[in-house]
Chains A and B, each alone.
Chain A
Amino acid sequence: MARLIRTEKEVEGRFEEVWIVVEEDPLEQWPEGPLEVVGRPAPRKDGPERVRGEARYTADLRLPGMLQAAVLRSPHAHAKVRRIDLAPALALPGVRAAIGPGEAHGLEEEAGFAGAAVAAVAADTFAQARAAVKAIDVEWEELEVVLDPDDAVKREQLTAEPRTYERGDVDKAFADADVVVEGTYRTQTVLHNSMETHQAICEWQGDTLHVYISTQFIWGIRQAVAQTLDLPEDKVRVVCEFMGGGFGSKNGPDEYTFVAAELAKRTGRPVRCALTRREENTSAGNRNATIQRLRAGARGDGTIVAFEGEFRNSVGWSGWNASTEGPMRMLYDCENVRSVTYGAKLNTPPMKAFRAPGFVEGTFGLECLVDELAAKLDVDPLELRRRNYAASNEGTPFSSKNLEDCYRMAEPHWERRHEVRSRSDAVWKRGVGMASQIWYGGGGPPSYAWVRLGSDGRATVITAMQDIGTGTRTAMAQIAAEELGIPLEHVDVALGDSARGPYASISAGSSTLPSMGPAVRAAAADAREQVEDIAEQRGLPADTPLQEIVAVLEESQILGKGARGPNPTGMSVLTFGVHVVEVAVDVETGEVNVERVAAIHDVGRIVNPLGASSQVEGGVIQGIGHTLSEERLLDPESGRILTTSLDSYRMPTIADVPEIICEFVDRPDEHLTNLGSKGLGEPPIVPIAAAIANAIRDATGAEVHELPISREEMLRALREAEERAREKEKRGAPAAV
């Protein structure tokens, strides 16, 4: 039975109160451990299709009569269009339409960052569209540019009121603490740089708008486009069969969708608006830079008594103030915590969600600080983390938390540090570091799925969700196969089209599996129950295989439907983990080699161990890029972005990838849905930066406080450590005679 509830909905660490209709979730969870299909490694169902180039991404689509759009973007970090003339563009060959500020959502007169969209052209070819964009005559009025977050905070130029948090008596706790450590940590701006750039094709058929788009949220696009264009939602169809990466940057429609829709309307033709790689680097979102001024206090026995943090997020021209303070509030059992988080409004491209936004940055600062505390207390870093284990989330019980199991599983990796260090020589210093992970990932309702079962005993899962490349089709098929008791090969998954299936969750916030998996299982169970009815009516024994039972159905089909039940009330659903990293540092040249990463995560039941390992590997590799080589750079004077290509914006190559060991607690969360699974998309990128930095300290004594840990930063930290050691020696040396 459906019931109406008011509930807190969480996506990417942001909460809102919503009314939703949820259906009961009466199915009992499966027993712990590998089952027939679920819990066993399954290669991707769509792997062959993808590697053969048959999978159709939005970028592959060519509709009959389709036009190509190009966008005029502001060359200035802050400027206003005083006058714009589209006529020279319209006069060029192949040009079919041109629109300016105010003529499509997202085309604006005031450009708040270099790369902001101002006007757009549709032409027969992309080259013609691009040439036409260049011909647009614009007179700009340049405005004052603010690029420095400290400057913005000082002027109170913020995206929202500063967010403050306080529990306990922080001042008293610091006054009473035996040991206090403090530090300033900085993280850089990094880019998603999705392989498939942001893009949409829009086509009007009658009064219905068809939107083919590379997206993480089919239904969010449907809603946002309908609202913006004042259409009934059913008049917007959204299609995304395969997509090439989003990492949080493709949750909404953005200007390219509205440009395509408007130009399609004006020309009566399908219009494709696809960002170039350069635009992907300037106008598709980013993980914002942060400055974190942190302080921790502890008693001599290693009990952490106080945390304090001032966080400055370089949000950009728009965007939201991510929870950089979240890990400090939630990871440890600490009675006294105070934080303030500023979102600096700057003339830089807007941030967007990027794989655990806020927590990636905040965990770097916090977990480096905790290791500095461990050093000062002379306590083993793993032991210090255990001593300050949080039993609840600020008083709210966890639906499940097995971080202590992660720590136990980390022990053999942590024990290697003596042997690893002993392999150091005069040039290459080796060491081991660790960092813990906390993040969301519980998903939630609403989400629906249907299961269609034919007389051949084959089933199709139907739901209008998207597969953002995480192995969704495979995991959903595994769940249905398990519930139906049929082989995995007999289950197909039809997804990617809002006109062909029920509402499905966003694929962000590590929510795909925990939101969709239970709905798919419920739908499969509904079908299975109908099959059992039929078996009973035919007088077949209870263990008759499904295929035999349905064989007599001929054209009849069994249709099961299922919905995602509610999250447990009064509980915090969170994911946990720990990384143990081994590094080697060339102390003469500042080269850092990450040699081995053991990633241990607690995300409830693992549906596909192979897919889960891939997720962890991807997160670790992306995290290594964030830690060591990636940084979007701006010209400090003009605010223009300097790193706009894949050779200047340096993501890791396969040669940068270390040995990665993935381990899972793999214990279902008994309070969470019929599946007991949480999401794994984001957790593996959360702790890697701090674990690498802590390993560097273990290897060399150098304290890195900035990401990326470039050679410049590494050589600076090494020099500082050397000076510190020399000072200490001088102080400790016997008086001269």
Chain B
Amino acid sequence: MELLRPSSLEELDGGLLLHGGTEVVPLLREGLLETERLVDVRGVVPRGVDGAVIGAGTTLAELEVEPAIPDALREACRLAASPQLRSMGSLGGNLLQATRCWYWRLGYDCRLHGGDRCHARDGEHREHAIFANEFCASAHPSDVAAALVALGARVRTNQRELAVEELYRLPDEGNRSTTTLESGELLLEIELPPAGASVYLKAMDRKRWAFPQVGVAVARHEDGSPRIALAGVAPIPWRIEGVDDLDAATPLPRTEWKVPLARALVRRALAALA
């Protein structure tokens, strides 16, 4: 395997991109990703905070102590992973991390891997989705993604500019991907629109170093309306308009417990901004 370290975007030419490596390296080790060419993009992805623009190469550890970013984002960074992982993991990498579904991680021939069944639906799914879980019951693990969706952030890639929300799509029969990313596309910057107060609340099964059972991000926007996004409840970050939308959840037998949990956290987050 060769490792490339390009210093400009022009040098990019295929291969598997990695930044902090906290996601890509374990996936390589498990054989879930394979490549002959590994491209370390730390030399080409912007890093640091400049006003409302955050380099996608900024680490979570840098963001968790950054006073100039909204509370929801800072808190989502602080509550993610462990100090070691946050020191290495980048904002862009965090947005693109794959599901923690154990079937997917163990290489089961599940729908996300191109197979014809969701093993979690019939099997062990206590950590899985309560929304949009018909085709694939995986739950999106990114705290940061939920925060950015709630904040209405936009992302600039080497090919286009789009809302963070548009970065994600539900997998379906024809396309198993959970992102809209094109081949060779690379996240460069995140831009935050002006927003009022924001908050991120996270339920974990231990105090630290756990993916969200349910994560709730709420941001108050210029018109005064709150915008809510959830982590850990659907295959992608999930928008709801209000707590009543949780009545429409379609939990699996062992994910029913997430519904009252999400309800409590959404109420709490809205109250915190009231």
Question: Contact between B210 and A650 (Cβ–Cβ < 8 Å)?
Answer: yes
Inter-subunit contact B206/A634 (CB<8 Å): no
Chain B residue nearest to A590 (CB atoms) is B261
Q: Counting CB contacts under 8 A, is A637 at the interface? A: yes
Given contacts A589-B265, A635-B119, A635-B123, contact A648 B102 (CB under 8 A): yes
Does A667 lie at the interface of the complex (its beta carbon under 8 Å from any beta carbon of B)?
A: no
Q: Does A521 sit within 8 A of B, measured CB to CB?
A: no
**Hey, which chain A residues are within 8 Å of B209, CB to CB?**
647, 653
Are A653 and B207 in contact (CB-based, < 8 A)?
yes
What DSSP secondary structure best describes chain B's contact surface?
loop
In chain A, positions 617-662 with a C-beta closer than 8 Å to chain B are 628-629, 633-637, 640, 642-645, 647-648, 650, 652-653, 655-656
Query: Does any Cβ of B come within 8 Å of A591's Cβ?
Result: yes
A82 CB-CB contact with B under 8 Å? no
- Measured between beta carbons, the chain A residues less than 8 angstroms from B268 are 588
B264 near A711 with CB under 8 A, answer no
Question: How near does chain B come to A389, taking the closest CB pair, in angstroms?
Answer: 37
Q: Does B213 reach chain A (CB closer than 8 Å)?
A: yes
Asked if residues A712 and B254 are in contact (CB atoms below 8 Å), the reply is: yes
CB distance from A713 to the nearest CB of B (A): 9
Whether A711 and B207, one on each chain, are in contact in the complex, defined by CB atoms closer than 8 angstroms, is no
Q: Do the beta carbons of A715 and B261 come within 8 Å of each other?
A: yes
Across the interface, name the chain B residue whose C-beta is closest to A637.
B123
| Contact pattern, A 220-249, Cβ under 8 Å of B = 1, otherwise 0 | 000000000000000000000000000000
Please, which residues of chain A bring their CB within 8 A of the CB of B221?
Answer: none
Question: Which B residues touch A591, using CB under 8 A?
Answer: 203
Restricting to A64-78, which residues have a CB under 8 Å from any CB of B?
none
Shortest Cβ distance from residue B61 to the other chain A in the assembled complex, whole angstroms: 16
Provide the residues of chain B in CB contact with A635, threshold 8 Å. 103, 119, 123-124
Contacting residue for B124 out of A588, A628, A642, CB 8 A: A642
State the CA gap A206–B143 with chains docked (Å).
59
Q: How far is the CB of B261 from chain A (nearest CB, A)?
A: 6
Question: How far apart are B166's CB and chain A's nearest CB, in angstroms?
Answer: 29
Number of interface residues of A (CB under 8 A): 28
Docked Cα-Cα span, A711 to B204, in Å, equals 9
Closest to B254 in A: A712
Residue of A nearest to B101 (CB): A642
Q: Binary interface profile of B, 100-116, with partner A (CB < 8 Å = 1, else 0)?
A: 10110110000000000
Docked CA distance A711–B210 (Å): 14
* Residues on the A chain within 8 Å of B119, using CB: 635, 637
Q: Establish whether residues B206 and A656, one from each chain, have CB atoms under 8 Å apart when the complex forms.
A: yes
Closest CB in chain B relative to A711 CB, distance in Å: 6
Contact A629 B106 (CB under 8 A): no
**A656 near B210: Cβ-Cβ < 8 Å:** no
Of the candidates A645, A711, A715, the one having the most CB atoms from chain B within 10 angstroms of its own CB is: A711
B261 with A711: CB separation less than 8 A: yes
Query: Contacts A715-B257, A716-B257 hold; do A628 and B264 have CB atoms under 8 A apart?
Result: no
Chain A, range 701-734, C-beta contacts under 8 Å to B: 710-712, 715-716
How long is the Cα–Cα vector from A628 to B206 in the complex, in angstroms?
8
Instruction: Using CB atoms, name the residue of chain B closest to A644.
Output: B106
Give the nearest-CB partner of B201 in chain A.
A589
In the bound complex, CA of A710 to CA of B209 (Å): 16
The smallest C-beta distance from A715 to any residue of chain B, in angstroms, reads: 5
Which residues of B sit under 8 angstroms from A590, Cβ to Cβ?
257, 261
Interface digits, A579-591 against B, CB 8 Å rule (1 contact, 0 not)?
A: 0000000001111
Find chain B residues with CB under 8 A from A711 CB.
Answer: 203, 205, 213, 257, 261
- Measured between C-beta atoms, what is the minimum distance from B81 to chain A in Å? 9
Residues of B within 8 A of A710 (CB): 126, 205
Q: How far is the CA of A602 from the CA of B253 in the complex (A)?
A: 45
B14 within 8 A of A: no
A590-B261, A642-B102, A712-B254 given; A636·B208 CB < 8 A:
no
Cβ of B260 under 8 Å from chain A = yes
Given the complex of chains A and B, what is the CA–CA distance between A659 and B200 in angstroms?
A: 28
Q: Given A643-B102, A711-B213, A589–B257 Cβ distance below 8 Å? A: no
In the bound complex, CA of A165 to CA of B210 (Å) = 43
For the complex formed, measure the closest distance between the CB of A363 and the CB atoms of chain B, giving whole angstroms: 23
B122 touches A (CB below 8 Å): yes
Tell me, in angstroms, the Cα distance from A635 to B106 when the chains sit together: 11
- What's the nearest-Cβ distance from chain B to residue A400, in Å? 38
How far apart are A314's CB and chain B's nearest CB, in angstroms? Answer: 16
Given A589-B264, A648-B100, A716-B257, A640-B106 contact (CB < 8 Å): yes
In angstroms, Cα B205 to Cα A652, docked, is 9
Min CB gap A630→B, angstroms: 9
Chain B contacts for A653, CB-based, 8 A:
82, 206-209
B105 to chain A, nearest CB (A): 8
Which residue on A lies nearest to B126, using beta carbons?
A: A712
Residues in A with CB closer than 8 Å to B264 are 588-589
Known contacts A589-B264, A633-B124, A711-B213; A656/B207 CB under 8 A: yes
Identity of the chain B residue whose Cβ is nearest the Cβ of A715 in the assembled complex: B257
Question: Within 8 Å CB of A712, what residues of B?
Answer: 126, 254, 257
Complex Cα–Cα for A647 and B23 (A)? 12
Q: Point out which of B124, B208, B211 has the most chain A C-beta atoms below 10 A from its C-beta.
A: B124
List the interface of chain B (C-beta within 8 A of A). Answer: 82, 100, 102-103, 105-106, 119, 122-124, 126, 203, 205-211, 213, 254, 257, 260-261, 264-265, 268
Shortest 10 CB-CB contacts between residues of A and residues of B: A655-B207, A588-B264, A642-B102, A712-B257, A655-B208, A629-B206, A653-B208, A656-B207, A589-B264, A629-B205
27 contacts between A and B (CB under 8 A): A588-B268, A589-B265, A590-B257, A633-B102, A633-B126, A634-B124, A635-B124, A636-B123, A636-B124, A637-B119, A642-B102, A642-B103, A642-B106, A643-B102, A647-B100, A647-B210, A648-B102, A648-B105, A652-B206, A653-B207, A653-B208, A655-B207, A655-B208, A711-B257, A711-B261, A715-B257, A715-B260
Known interface pairs A711-B261, A712-B254; 4 further A-B residue pairs with C-beta atoms within 8 A, sorted by A's residue number: A589-B203, A655-B207, A656-B207, A715-B261
